[in-house]
Structure 1
Amino acid sequence: MGHDAQGIDAVLADFARRPNVPMIDDHLREAMTLCIERGLDRLPVPGSGQTLLRWQQLAAVGGIDLALLKLYEGHTDALAILQELACAPFTEPGIWGVWAAEPPSARVGVSARNGDEVRLNGRKAWCSGAQQIDYALITAWTADDQPQLVAVRLDQPGITIDAQAWQAVGMATTASVDVHFDSAVGHCVGESGAYLSRPGFWQGGAGIAAAWYGAAASLARTLHRQRQQGRPDPHADAHLGSVDAALHGASAALHACAAWIDAHPEADARLSVQRVRAQVEMAVEHVCRHVGRALGATPFCRDPQFARLAVDLPVFIRQSHAERDLAQLGELLAARETEDWSL
C-alpha cells in the first residue's frame, strides 16, 4: 500500500488545529444603534405588569438574529438593572452590556474607592460584544471579598480587549472576549451584593429563555412555509406536528411564568425561572432536531438567516448549564414540602 507509518490524524494535526478566522460584523452595531434610535430598547422592566411584552420583544429579536439579540438583551438588561438600582452613571447615550461571568481564573478587583468612583484591576472573561458596545456593567470584588456591580466606560485608558481565545463558529460575531482592566475607572452601581439580591436578577434570567424560544420558532416557521408549499410528505408533516407541540408547551410555560412574576414582583422567582428555562431548553433542542431532519441541507446552505440561526442557537442555549441547572431545580423542589403538580 505504501502508506507512511504515521497516521493521517498525526499528519494533519496542525491543519485540524488551525485557528478560526476572527469575525467582526459591523452591521451588528448599526442594527443595535437603529434599535436605540427608534426606541425599541425601551422595554417594560420585569415584574412591572408587562413582563410578557418584554419577553415577546426579546423573542422577536431572537428570531431575527441571535448575534444581534446578544447585544440587544445585554443592553436592555443593563437598562433594567440601572432602573431597578436607581442609578444613572453616564448621561451620553450608547450601547450597554452586562458582564457577570465569574470563572475562577478571571476576576476583577475594586481598589482606591472615592465615593462611588473606583479603580478596577484584573481580567474579565466572557465579555460579549466588547468590540461593539460603549458601556458595561461588570461584577467585581472589593478588598473584603464582597461582590460589587460597577459601570464602566469602555473607551478609556486602562481597558484592553483580547480576542485571541475566541474561536467560536456559532455566535462568532458577538465575540465574548477577555477584557483586561489596569487601574480603569468605574462607578459603583447599588450597594455591595445588590446585583444578585434584587428581584430582577431571577426575573431577568427568564428573558433569555424567551430569546431561545424566538430563535426556535423562527426555524420552525421555515418548516411551516415549506409544508405549505411543498408536495405531500407525511414524514415532514410529522416533524411539523412534533415541533408545534414542543413550541406550544414552551409558549404556555413562558406565559405562566410571566404572569407569576407580575403577580409577585418582589418575590424570589428562582423556582419559576429555573422551571421555564428547563422547559424552553428542551423544546428548543427538540425543534432543532426535527426541523433539520425535515428540511435537509438546503436551508442550512442557501438561506442566510436560517443558516445563522441554526449554527448560533446550539451555542446560545448553552447559557443554560444543562444538568447542573436541572440539579439546582431538583434541589429547590426537594426542599419544598409539596411538589405542586396537581392539574
Structure 2
Amino acid sequence: MSFSAAVTPAVDPLSPPGLASTAALVQRAAHLAEGFAQRAAEVDQPGAFPVEAFDCLAAEGFLVAPLRRGLGGCGLGIDAPSTHDLLRLLQHIGRGNLAVGRVYEGHVNALQLIQTFGTAEQLERYGQAARDRHHLFGVWNAEDAEGLSIVPLGSGRYRLQGAKTFCSGAGYVNRPFVNGKLPDGTWQMAIVPMDQVSTQCDRDWWQPMGMRATASYKIDFTGVELGAGDLIGQPGDYLRQPWLTAGVVRFAAVQLGGAAAIFDLTRQYLQSLGRVDHPYQQERLGQMAIALETGQLWLRGAADQIVAYDAQFAGKRERSNPRQAQLLAYANMMRTAVEQICMDTMQLCQRSVGTRGLLPPAPLERVLRDLTLYLRQPAYDAAIAGVGAYVLAQTAPAHDLW
C-alpha cells in the first residue's frame, strides 16, 4: 500500500517542515515520537502494523527525505554531513515506537542502496515512487537454509525461487529488496513490485515476544518474474563495503531510542510513586543517564567517521577509500557499545521498578520486550573480533586510532 501524504497528522498539530533542513526533520521526529509512543500499545499484537504512524511520516516528508535533493529529498543519510541528523532522527523514532523505527530504518537503507548501485533510470523511477506515490521501501535479506534463487529465463527475464524470512512491513512495504543467489553462486540485489506480483505470506511464522507490530512475516516468492530493470547493481554489490557493515550504525541509533524510552518510563514510574529520594534509585538512574549520554557520544563519533570517509556516503561505488577499514571497525564498535548500553539500561530499569512496574498494560513491559528482540542482530561476535583485528594491525597510539 502507499501511505497518504494528505493526511492531517493525528499525532501532531504543527505544520510540516520544509525539506531544506535535516535538522528540522530531527525536531519533527522528536515531537512525533510522543504520539507514536501513545499509540504503540494499539498495534502491539500479531497482524497489526502502525499504519497511522507511517501516514504521518509520509505527510511530514520522512519517506522522501533520504533521496538526494535532485530527486526531491534532502539527502538525509546520503550527504555525509547529514549523518548525525539521520542517527538522531532514527533515535527519536525508535524512542516513540521501536517497530516504527525498525521499518523506517529499512526504508532509509533501501533508498541508500538504490542511490549507490542503481542506474539513472532506476533512481528516477524509484525516487518518483517514494516522492510522488509515497511508497515504502525495505530490505528483506534474511532467509532459511533453502534460501532464495534468481533463475535467468533469457531475454532479460528472471524467476524467483524460494522464500525470505523477517520481512518487516509485509503487506505494507511496496518495494522491498529481495536479494537472491544466481546460478553461479553470486548474490544479486532485486526489487520486487509487490502490487504487481503474487506471493505467499506465512503470517503464522511470526509469533515473536516483541516487535509484533513490524509484521515481519515469511514470504514465498516462488514463481515471481522480474525484468532486468528490477535488478539493482551487479552481482556481489550488496556485500560491498563499507555500505554492508557501516549501515549498522542506523539500527543501533534506533535501539538507543528504545533505551531512552526505558529511561523516561522508569523515571516517570518512580516519580509517580514518590521514590525519587531513595539513594539506590538515584544511583540506578544516575547509571542510566551516564549510559544514555555515552550512547549520544557514539552517535556523534559514528557520524564523524562517515564524514571523514567521504562527503557523500552513497553514490560513489567505484571509488576505493583508505579509511574504509577504520570506518568499518568504528561502526562495529558503535553497534556493540550501544547493545551493551541498552542491556545495562534494561537491567537497571527492571531493578528499579520491580515486578509491579513490569506488568501489562504498563508500557515498560512492551518496550522491554521490543528492545530485547531488536537487539538480537546478526554477527555480534564477528563484529567485536573485527574491531580487535583492526586495532591489532595498527601501530598508532590509542589516542590516534580514530
Shorter-normalised TM-score: what interval?
0.7 to 0.9
The corresponding residue for 2:375 is 317
Tell me the matched-pair count.
320
CA–CA distance in structure 2, aligned partners of residues 215 and 22 of structure 1: 18
- 1:247 and 2:304 aligned: no
Tell me, yes or no, if the aligned pair for 2:109 and 2:247 is still in contact at 8 Å: yes
1:245-291 per-residue CA deviation (whole Å, 9 max, x = no partner) reads 22222221221111011111254221111110111111110000001
Q: Distance in 1 between matches of 2:45 and 2:300?
A: 39
One-letter code aligned to 1:39: G
The structural deviation recorded for 1:108 is: 2.9
Q: Aligned AA for 2:288? A: V
Superposition deviation, residue 74 in structure 1 = 0.9
How big is the alpha-carbon RMSD for the aligned residues of Structure 1 and Structure 2?
Answer: 2.4
- Percent of aligned positions that are identical: 25
Structure 1: how far apart are the matches of 2:206 and 2:111? 27
Give the conservation status (yes or no) of the 8 Å contact 1:82–1:189: yes
**Aligned residue type for 1:104:** A
2:345 is aligned with 1:287: yes
- TM-score, length-normalised on structure 1? 0.85
Matched, 1:25 2:48: yes
1:328 & 1:296 partners in 2: Cα distance? 38
Q: Which ranges in structure 1 are unaligned for 5 or more consecutive residues?
A: 1-20
| Deviates further, 273-282 or 152-161 | 152-161
| Bigger Cα displacement from structure 2, 285-294 vs 249-258 | 249-258
Q: For 1:119 and 1:33, locate their aligned partners in 2 and report how far apart those are by CA, in whole Å.
A: 33
Does residue 69 in structure 1 map to residue 114 in structure 2?
no
- Counterpart of 1:270 (choices 316, 328, 333) is 328
Kept in 1: contact 2:46–2:207 (CA 8 A)? no
Contact 1:161 1:178 in 2 (8 A): yes
Rg comparison, structure with higher value: 1
2:223 equivalent to 1:178: no
Q: In the alignment, which residue of structure 2 is the partner of 1:234? A: 279
With 291-300 and 55-64 compared, the bigger mean Cα shift is at: 291-300
Q: How far apart are the structure 1 equivalents of 2:245 and 2:360?
A: 39
Residues 223 and 96 of structure 1: CA distance in aligned 2, closer, same or farther (over 3 Å): same
**Unmatched runs of 5 consecutive residues or more in structure 2:** 1-43, 67-75, 311-320
TM-score normalised by length of structure 2? 0.73
Q: Distance in 2 between matches of 1:112 and 1:280?
A: 45
Answer 1 or 2: which has greater strand percent. 1
Shift of 1:58: 0.5
Q: Which amino acid aligns with 1:233?
A: H
Tell me the equivalent position of 1:133: 173
Q: Structure 1 residues 234 and 341, CA, compared in 2 at 3 Å: closer, same or farther?
A: same
* Residue 340 (structure 1) shift: 4.8
Structure 1, 240-249 or 79-88: larger mean CA deviation: 79-88
- Write the letter of the residue equivalent to 1:252: L
Higher mean C-alpha displacement, 186-195 vs 54-63: 186-195
Please, which moves more after superposition, 323-332 or 127-136?
323-332
Task: Report the CA distance between 1:339 and its aligned residue.
Answer: 6.7
Deviations 1:91-137 (A, max 9, x none): 4431111012254332232322544x532221222222213221201
* Counterpart position of 2:114: 82
CA change 1:202–1:46 in 2 (3 A) is farther
Residue matched to 2:18: none
CA distance in 1, matches of 2:241, 2:344: 33
Do 1:65 and 1:308's aligned partners in 2 also have CA atoms closer than 8 Å?
no
Q: Which amino acid aligns with 1:276?
A: M
Kept after mapping to 2: 8 A contact 1:47/1:261: no
Match of 1:121 in 2: 161
CA contact (8 A) 1:202 1:270 kept: yes
CA distance in 1, matches of 2:212, 2:338: 23
1:132-156 residue CA offsets vs partner (Å, 9 max, x unmatched): 2212012211121111110101133
Question: Once the 2 structures are TM-superposed, how far is the Cα of residue 198 of structure 1 from its aligned partner?
Answer: 5.0
SS in 1 for 2:180: strand
1:188 Cα offset (Å): 0.5
Asked if 1 retains the 8 angstrom alpha-carbon contact of 2:298 and 2:334, the reply is yes
- Whether contact under 8 Å (2:47, 2:203) holds in the other structure is no
The answer to whether the Cα contact below 8 Å between 2:93 and 2:254 also exists between their aligned partners in 1 is yes
Shift of 1:173: 2.5
1:54, CA displacement in angstroms? 0.4
Q: Secondary structure at the match of 2:304?
A: helix
Cα distance in structure 2, aligned partners of 1:105 and 1:341: 45
By how many angstroms is 1:306 displaced?
3.1
